[in-house]
A and B are shown apart, each in its own frame.
Chain A
Amino acid sequence: MLYSDKVMDHFQNPRNVGEIVDADGVGEAGNPKCGDIMKIYIRVEDDHITDIKFKTFGCASAIASSSMATELVKGKSVKEAWDLTNSAVAEALDGLPPIKMHCSVLAEEAIHAAINDYRHRQGLEPWEEKSHDELVEEHSHHH
C-alpha cells in the first residue's frame, strides 16, 4: 500500500469532521485547481483551542492530514497551534509519500488562516504567514 496504517486510519475514520456554526475563526487553504481544499473552524476559549472541525476536498493524504492536524492542535494554546509544522503532521501519520507532502502543508496553512481570522476578529495583528511554496521548500530542506 502507498500509505501508512495511520494515514489509512485517519482517511477512513477522520476525526473532527464538520463545521462549527459560530466559530471564532475560520480558515481555508488550497484551491480546486490542485485538487485540494481544506477548511478549518476553531473555537477559542482562554487563548486555547477548545474545539476544532474541518471539511476537506482532496485525496486520502489531504483528508488524513486534516484529521491528524486537528487532533494535534485540539486543546493547545493558540501559539502552540500556530507552531504546528507540516513535518509534525506528516511524522504523526508515520510519513507521507514525497509527492503528497504538500497535503500536510495545506493543513498547516489552513490552521494558520483560521488563527489569523480569529486574531483579526479579536482586533489583533495577524501573525506572519508563509506562502505555500516557502513551506514546501522549508520542508524539503528538513529531509
Chain B
Amino acid sequence: MSRQVYMDHAATTPVAPDVFHAMAPYFTESFGNPSSLYTLGQQNKKAIEEAREKVARVLNASPAEIFFTSGGTESDNWALKGAAFTYRNKGNHIITTKIEHHAILHSAEYLARLGYDITYLDVDEEGRVSVEDVAKAITDGTILVSVMFANNEIGTIQPIEKIGKLCRERGVLFHTDAVQAVAHVPIDVKAMNIDMLSLSAHKFYGPKGTGVMFLRKGVKLDNFIHGGGQEKGRRATTENVAGIVGLGVAIERAGKKMVAEQKRLSALRNKLIDEIMKRIPYARVNGALGDTRLPNNVNVSLIGIEGETMLMDLDMFGISASTGSACSSGSLDPSHVLMAIGLSHEMAHGSLRLTLGESTTDEDVHYVVEKLSGIVERRRNMSPLWEDFIKAQERS
C-alpha cells in the first residue's frame, strides 16, 4: 500500500488507543444500565460521573453543568431550539453568524419558519465577527446569541471572551459551538462568560456519536430529548456508557497534551502554508493568520482548479483532504463560509482544506506540498480558467 497521509482532522479523528481500551469493557462485561440499582448498573453510573468531572475540569465548569448528548449537532439543536421555546414569551430574536456550521444554520432556518426573527451577522475577510456588530444587533427581543468558537473550514477563532462579556452585560444568553476548538485551544467557560457550549468527542480522538452540552448553572432551558430521567432529567435515553467513558478519557488526554500540541501544530501549519505559498503561484490563504487561527487548520484557494479534482488527485497519493467546492457537496453553491469572507465563486471552487493532527509529521507536510504542487501544475495546464486568469495577469 502507498503512503497514507490523513489531513482531514477537522472532519474526524481516529479513536486514540488508550481511549479505545478504556471504552472496551463497557461494550461487554460492564454492560449494565446506569439507572439500575445493582452493582453492574451503579458502577457504570460512577464511570459516567468520572467522565463528567473530566469534561468539567478541561472547560473550568462544574460537573453539574455538563450534559452528555449524541454529539455537536444535538447540542447545537438543543441550544437554539431550547432557547427559542423556553423564552418565546420574552422575545423572538436570535443572533448568529453567516459562517456557522449547518447544525446552527439549519436549526435557525427552521426557527425562522416558525416565526422567529434571525440575524445572521457578517464576518470580515478573515472570517471574524465584530463585537460591535453583535452589540448593535441586540434588541429588547433578543433571546440568544450563538457564535461559533472557531470555524471548521477556515479555522478563524472568534473574539468569544468579548462577545461573552457583552452578552452577560446585556442580559442575553450566549451559546458557542466549540466543536472545532475544545481540547485544541484553551477554553474557560467562566472567564469567557459562556452560558452554553457544544462539543463533540470525535474531534479530539474520542468516539463518534458522543458530545456534550455545557449549560451554566442557573440558566433555564427546556429539554430537547424527552423521555426517562437520565442526566438529572435533562436529557433522556439510556446513556451511551462506552461513548461517555471514551469522551472523558479523550478530553482529559487532549487537555494534558494541548499546550504542546498547540505549539507543535501551529509550527507545522505555518510551514505548510509557507511552503504552499512559496511553491504554488497565485495561492491564497483563506482565514486569519497567527494566534487567531486554529493550530491545525490550513485552507487555501488555488485558482484554476476545481476542488473535487484536487481531492481525487491527492487521494491517488494517499492524501485525505477536503474542499469547499460545490462539486463535492452535491449542491451547486460553494461553501457559505468562503462566500461570506468574500471569495469569488472561482476561488471558492478552488479551495482546499488540510487539517493536521497528532499523527502529522514534518515529512507529511513536505510530502503533501510536493504532491500538491505537481497536481496543481498539471491540472492548471488543462484549465481554460487558468489560461484566462494568466492572460489577465499578463495584461495588467
Contacts and interface: CB of A to CB of B under 8 A. Distances in A.
Interface of A: 11-12, 14, 17-18, 28, 32-39, 54-60, 62-63, 99-100
Given A59-B306, A60-B309, A35 B345 contact: yes
Contact of A35 (B312, B316, B326): B326
Interface residues of B, number: 26
A59 B345 contact: no
B387 interface: yes
* A interface secondary structure, majority: mixed
What 8 A-B pairs are tightest by C-beta distance, nearest first? A59-B327, A57-B385, A59-B308, A39-B384, A35-B349, A57-B383, A32-B346, A55-B384
A57 B304 contact: yes
B349 A32 contact: yes
Contacts of A56: 382-384
Given A57-B305, A59-B306, A35 B384 contact: no
Contacts of A35: 306, 325-327, 334, 345, 349
A55 B387 contact: yes
Contacts of A17: 381-382
B332 interface: yes
Contact of B345 (A33, A39, A63, A100): A33
A57 B307 CA distance: 10
* B interface secondary structure, majority: helix
Interface string B312-328: 10001000000001111
A141 to B, nearest CB: 21
28 contacts: A12-B316, A18-B382, A28-B384, A32-B345, A32-B349, A32-B385, A34-B345, A35-B306, A35-B327, A35-B345, A35-B349, A36-B306, A39-B384, A54-B382, A55-B384, A56-B383, A56-B384, A57-B385, A57-B386, A58-B306, A59-B307, A59-B308, A59-B325, A59-B328, A62-B306, A63-B309, A99-B330, A100-B327
B284 to A, nearest CB: 15
Given A17-B382, A33-B345, A35-B349, A60 B330 contact: no
B309 A59 contact: yes
